[in-house]
A and B are shown apart, each in its own frame.
Chain A
Amino acid sequence: MRSRPIFYTVVFSLIAAGLTLAWFRHTHLRIPLWPGERKSVWLIEARVDFFATGGPVLISLDLPADPPGFRQVSEQAASPGYGFAVVEGPGGRRGEWTRRHAEGRQTLYYKVQMIRDRTAGRDEPTGDKPKPQQFVWNEMQRTAAQPLIAQAYERSSTPTSFARELIQQVGASRPDQNASLLLADFPLPTLLMRLLNHANVPARISMGLELEDARRYQPLQAVLEIHDHDRWVTLDPRTGVQGLPENLLLWHRGGQSLLDVVGAGRSDVRFSMIRQTLPAMDLARMQFVDGGLSRLSLYHLPIEEQSMFKLLLLLPVGALVVTFMRIIVGVRTSGTFMPILIAMAFIQTSLVPGLIAFVTIVSLGLMLRGYLSRLNLLLVARISTLIVLVIFLAAMASVVGHELGFRVGLTLTFFPMVIIAWTIERMSILWEEEGSREGMVQGFGSLGVAVLAYACMRIGAVAHWTFNFPEIHLILLAMILLIGQYTGYRLSELRRFDVMTRRR
């Protein structure tokens, strides 16, 4: 009370810390905010076919390395008899298959899962400005190229606009004489790359894969990349459209060749793809980065501990419900936190069987307790007797239930027997001393709060958040602290003191 500002600062920083950490976890570890969220994933399969000549074989395939607009989830290579390694070199990421002896037709597979993610992928670090490549032209080609370059240069101001002009000239539906002549010698992308380099604009051809669901044996498509203002700009060599289409995955960028084959011939690489939808949670789990925040998550624990914590982390939700119901609403319960324990048991038994089992065993226990009170036992002995009786009752109910074909036995074992025994004892005392009405009020109050806590804990999102975003508990804590400061009237008091506002 003396330090209200400090109190509110603490509460506020708890909430802020909870939200920030959760947001961080969401963006960095990509844990979905909602349970059951699904994401579509492209499963792409590269198939390399070749004929081996009998000697040692080395197949080196360029692999996508952080392609812009996509995030890699997993990769695997299937190639019986071959050694496989992913090699990161100056030429990029390459998959290398090796085998000492191979003969005849061979097939290798490489599978990769990619998610569309606008923010992912890096621009290739360009460091120094790359030098334009030198190409050999014959006299006639050079003569034909000059006017094309000159005209495009005249109509442009930047390397990108220059390239666009060139594409318009060369790729027009009816190209002029010079262009037609050159196109007879070179395929369109190669010609454009040559012309650009010739005009001192560094340019290269990259290979992209057009993603379309359930396509098989697709080739890669050439994409023109020119260097402009310290970064590579992609252009469609046919249309001149700048930037990558949404569904184009840059498989092979600049650098070396797409496929190198040693000790074999007639090689070819083809791509098949399908779109899968996978739970976002599984995807997040697949690509955990070690270190940082992921160290502070529970996924590193053994599975059994994880499932235990999954349940345990729901407890604060129950505590919040109880705090709210008692302080704001003013429900009377027998035993402050007994409702939480009952609610936890309901989670394992599911509601209706749990309720039936609980009410049955408590009412049977109350009946037996009536006889016990005549025996004049000491308190501890009485509770112990009740525990024994409650367990005995549970066993009886299980056996009878089993004979009748119900599986009540398992349901009953989830209830904390000692708590039930205490509940029976307390209810019976309450009944004797305060009368049946108060007993009923508190009994049903407890049960109502338990059901409410159960309902809150059973919300899928709540279970998802408490386990996957443990920092949410900081927010729960802040809320409990705030409720603890509430000095207003309880809901039940509006009724209790109603008589005082009526008269006069």
Chain B
Amino acid sequence: MWSLPSALRDRGILGMNRRNVAYISRYNERRRYPLVDDKLRTKLLAEKFKLATPSLRKVIRYQHEIAAFDEEARTLDGFAIKPAKGAGGKGLLVVKTRRGDLYVKSSGSTVTAQQIQRHLTNILAGLYSLGGSPDVAIVEDLIRPVPLFEDLSYAGVPDIRIIVFKGYPVMAMTRLATRTSNSTANLHKGGVGVGLDIATGRALYAVQHGVRITRHPDTDIPLDTLAIPDWRNLLLLGARGYELTGLGYIGADLVVDRNRGPMLLELNARPGLSIQVANGAGLLPRLRTIERLDPEVTPAAEERVDYAMNVFRAGGRP
């Protein structure tokens, strides 16, 4: 039930306090936080740096724009509404298609136009934003996942989380929604976490409720043979998040779109620790490997990715 601190230390597990003190506050400059806390800014910045992100359809800043949105939404096939300053996937509403006057969500349930308006109102009032400050709503194109991913998840698009430390991808996982997780991919709510080999993008390890599994509990797709396509480009995209923001310790959330390939969804300056559970490995040895590198030189993203793919190979030392 309980482990000794020494057992966790032996496995190199990064704890919340060490993450906050030794990594986030040391490598992430406070003044750069708004770049990632405001997804709209991240998005615009990513476009400037020519990183692929889901196309921005509309930004709703004021209450009066909400009433007109229903009209505009008719022209869109599917879309995703998210708060610019939402944290932890809060306030995300994905509409796949319309059925008459109703909108069909990714989970299959329907919402009315009024409910969408209420959702937008909540976003603008700051219900999902950090500290409850007023926010804006972003409307994006729907992501069309590659077929592999579409089958994999019970609902929603599985995203890939890569921890990028000083520009080097150090650990990756993908989170899959399950029936019990209520269609969200949060691990503590029963989502499946699949640890990915940095070198190959192949699944290493899959856990649900902290227990190792080999098949998706709902779709029954084997997880141990899973391999993410276009892996190196994904890592590259995540690694470039470092140049984008200047933040040393970030979590990059990526998806692979059927048509557009790897895309950056958002960056997170306070990435969670459950990635360690999904990988069955601690972050600390890998972070220390990067910390030991010469801090004077920052190689190009390609070099960093190649280095990481080489060093953090599954079964490799760190």
Contacts and interface: CB of A to CB of B under 8 A. Distances in A.
Interface of A: 1, 327, 330, 376, 378-380, 429, 433-435, 438, 485-490, 493-501, 503-504
A1 B18 CA distance: 12
A503 B212 contact: yes
B21 A380 contact: no
Interface string B89-119: 0100000000000000000000000100110
Nearest to A504: B280
Interface stretch (B6-14, B48-56, B228-236, B259-267): B6-14
Contacts of A487: 15, 17-18, 21-22
Contact of A494 (B8, B117, B189, B207): B8
Contact of A497 (B1, B13, B63, B125): B13
B17 A490 contact: yes
Contact of A488 (B2, B18, B63, B117): B18
B280 A503 contact: yes
Taking each of A376, A486, A487, which has the highest tally of chain B beta carbons within 10 Å of its own beta carbon? A487
B297 interface: no
Contacts of B11: 497, 500-501
Taking each of B90, B186, B210, B280, which has the highest tally of chain A beta carbons within 10 Å of its own beta carbon? B210
Given A379-B127, A494-B5, A499-B207, A485 B21 contact: yes
B32 interface: no
Nearest to B21: A487
Nearest to A378: B125
B225 interface: no
A269 B112 CA distance: 100
B210 to A, nearest CB: 4
Contacts of B127: 379, 429
Contact of B3 (A378, A429, A490, A498): A498
Given A376-B118, A485-B21, A503-B212, A495 B16 contact: no
B68 interface: no
Contacts of B182: 435
B2 A498 contact: yes
26 contacts: A1-B22, A327-B17, A378-B63, A434-B189, A435-B182, A438-B188, A487-B17, A487-B18, A487-B21, A487-B22, A488-B5, A489-B5, A489-B9, A489-B13, A489-B17, A490-B17, A493-B13, A493-B16, A495-B3, A497-B8, A497-B13, A497-B276, A497-B277, A500-B280, A503-B212, A503-B280
Contact of A493 (B8, B90, B118): B8
Nearest to B190: A435
Contacts of A485: 21
Contact of B122 (A1, A379, A496): A379
Contacts of A379: 121-122, 125-127, 132
B293 interface: no
Taking each of B8, B26, B282, which has the highest tally of chain A beta carbons within 10 Å of its own beta carbon? B8
A489 B114 CA distance: 46
A485 B22 CA distance: 10
A496 B132 CA distance: 29
A498 B1 contact: yes
Chain B contact patch, size range = 35 or more
Contacts of A490: 15-17
A434 B207 CA distance: 20
A487 B8 CA distance: 13
Taking each of A378, A434, A497, which has the highest tally of chain B beta carbons within 10 Å of its own beta carbon? A497
Contacts of B207: 499
A240 to B, nearest CB: 70
Contacts of A434: 186, 189
B230 to A, nearest CB: 29
Interface in B146-187: 182, 186
Contacts of B3: 494-495, 497-498, 501
Taking each of A1, A380, A498, which has the highest tally of chain B beta carbons within 10 Å of its own beta carbon? A498
Contacts of B4: 494
Contacts of A433: 90
A499 to B, nearest CB: 4
Contact of A495 (B2, B15, B186, B212): B2
Contacts of B7: 501
Contacts of A327: 17
Given A488-B17, A499-B210, 11 more contacts: A327-B17, A376-B121, A435-B182, A487-B18, A488-B18, A490-B16, A493-B15, A495-B1, A497-B11, A499-B207, A500-B8
A497 B188 CA distance: 12
Contacts of A489: 5, 8-9, 13, 15, 17
A40 to B, nearest CB: 51
Contacts of A500: 8, 11, 13, 276-277, 280-282
A434 B281 CA distance: 26
A309 B18 CA distance: 36
Q: Which 5 A-B pairs have the closest CB atoms?
A: A379-B125, A499-B210, A487-B18, A489-B15, A376-B118
A354 to B, nearest CB: 27
Nearest to B127: A379
Given A489-B17, A493-B16, A503-B212, A376 B189 contact: no
A496 B189 CA distance: 13
A435 B15 contact: no
A163 to B, nearest CB: 72
Contacts of A495: 1-3
Interface string B280-293: 11100000000000
Taking each of B3, B21, B63, which has the highest tally of chain A beta carbons within 10 Å of its own beta carbon? B3
A376 B125 CA distance: 12
Nearest to A485: B21
A1 B24 CA distance: 12
Contacts of B9: 489
B291 to A, nearest CB: 13
Contacts of B132: 379
A491 B133 CA distance: 32
B277 A380 contact: no
A419 to B, nearest CB: 14
A494 B9 CA distance: 10
Nearest to A2: B26
Nearest to A437: B189
B277 A499 contact: yes
B121 to A, nearest CB: 6
B2 to A, nearest CB: 5
A244 to B, nearest CB: 61
A500 B278 CA distance: 9
Contacts of A429: 127
Nearest to B280: A500
B118 A330 contact: no
A1 B26 contact: yes
Nearest to A434: B189
A1 B132 CA distance: 31
A447 B262 CA distance: 45
Contacts of A378: 63, 121, 125
A409 B46 CA distance: 57
